[in-house]
Amino acid sequence: MKELDILAFGAHPDDVEIGMGGTIAKYAQNGYKIGICDLTKAELSSNGTVQIRQIEAKSAGEILGIQKRIFMNLPDRGLFLNEEQIRQVVTIIRLYKPKAVFAPYFEDRHPDHGNCAQLVKEAVFSAAVRKYEDVQKQTEHRVKHVYFYMINGFHKPDFMVDISKTMGFKIEALQAYQSQFVKTEGSLETPLVNGYIESVKSRERLFGKEVGVEYAEGFLTNKPLLLNKDVIGGET
């Protein structure tokens, strides 16, 4: 199994694309090996089915250029901070040995997103503990960086990534989720089928304006970032 540079976790298929699809496309184009792991199959979604969502997720991943899409089987609306679920996430981290891990930010209107963040944070720590046994009893792995992306929220980021050149890939990946973002005669009314993609696009445009680019995605971190440039942009 090839090791990944970046492993992005989401509670449901489409979470990662909403929060950081442009960043994934950007780094994939730069040669990084990237995987997306969906903790649940979104079996309780108001629209679409598990089978449809997985087909859409695979298509979205191909658009972004990822190497691996991982579908876990934790329960939708049943993500909780318990040992069994932590252990399963540890197994994924140790299997793919990512350098950087991403998860949803803790503050979000959907409880599964915040619970996903807690699970991943705990699993990253436990994955580095040598005597901690995961499901497959693998050797420990220490993740170098853990970052958090936004799904429904609009928070003050700790840093941003310029996605001006890959915003189109992000929109295309979101549009792959026809069951979620396109209103049809059979669709139930949800926030997702009422201009959601446009709201995401507007958020990334606002973030971009803050840093002088066309589009940007915002991220948060639990610890300070080390800059390799001085305060006016020169190399140190």
Convert the pLDDT of each residue in 217-234 to its tens digit. 999 999 998 878 776 666
Residue 228 in domain: no
Does residue 229 belong to any structural domain of this protein? no
Of 94, 108, 121, the residue nearest 4 (C-alpha) = 94
β-bridge partners, 9 = 37
- What's residue 234's pLDDT? 66
User: Is residue 197, in this structure, part of any structural domain at all?
Assistant: yes
- Asked if residue 36 belongs to a domain, the reply is yes
Rounded CA gap, 160 and 207, in Å?
8
Q: In whole angstroms, give the CA distance from residue 108 to residue 10.
A: 13
**Structural domains in the chain (count):** 1
Look up the CATH number of the domain holding residue 167: 3.40.50.10320
User: Is residue 236 situated within a structural domain?
Assistant: no
**Burial class of residue 188 (count of CB atoms within 10 Å of its CB; 0-12, 13-18, 19+):** exposed
Q: In this structure, is residue 195 part of a structural domain?
A: yes
User: What is the tens place of the pLDDT at every residue in 15-66?
Assistant: 999 999 999 999 999 999 999 999 999 999 889 899 999 999 999 999 999 9
pLDDT of 236 above 60: no
Residue 226 forms part of a structural domain: no
Residue 233 covered by a domain? no
